[in-house]
Structure 1
Amino acid sequence: MSVGANIRRIREERGLTQAYLAEKAGISQAMLCQIERETKNPSLQVSVEIAALLDCDVKDLCDNGRAAG
């Protein structure tokens, strides 16, 4: 899985909306949508913020097929 797909999967597992996660991460919902659709890549800073909000490691966002705890 790609970073975007992992963000989407973990976000949905946590029961969070795109709007909520984007707002808390300091990005627009449109930007998060583009990240999840893999048309944009998040910066390292945004990746760290998203990982913190999803209660996982940045590594979990990059892993292929491994579940986040």
Structure 2
Amino acid sequence: MGDDDARIFGAKVKELREAAGLTQVALAKKAGVQQGQLSEIEIGKRIPRLDTIKKLARALGVPPHELITD
């Protein structure tokens, strides 16, 4: 995953989080990740591991591939 991919992924997570009416804190807690980690993912600063992608997808109620497609 390159820088552009990381930004696209983060934007998708943020879009789905907001559509679900969740704050970063709420999603982080639901997914079992640190809020700071989620923040860095959403701004494209951090590239998540596969297990983190799965956790976020599960918490958002979407299949993991939905987070990684444009």
Q: TM-score range by the shorter chain?
A: 0.7 to 0.9
Task: Letter of the 2:37 partner, please give it.
Answer: M
List runs of 5+ in structure 1 lacking aligned partners.
65-69
**Amino acid in structure 2 at the alignment position of 1:49:** K
Q: Distance in 1 between matches of 2:39 and 2:68?
A: 17
RMSD of the TM alignment (CA)? 1.1
Structure number with the higher helix fraction is 2
**Does the CA-based 8 Å contact 2:31-2:58 persist in structure 1?**
no
Structure 2 residue ranges without an equivalent (≥5): 1-6
Q: Identify which of 37, 40, 43 aligns with 1:37.
A: 43
Partner of 2:63: 57
Shift in Å, 1:44:
0.5
TM-score (normalised: structure 1): 0.86
Residue among 32, 35, 52 paired with 1:46: 52
**Bigger Cα displacement from structure 2, 1-10 vs 34-43:** 1-10
Pairwise mapping of residues 15-34 of structure 1 onto structure 2 (< 5 A)?
15-34=21-40
Report the TM-score, using the length of structure 2 for normalisation: 0.85
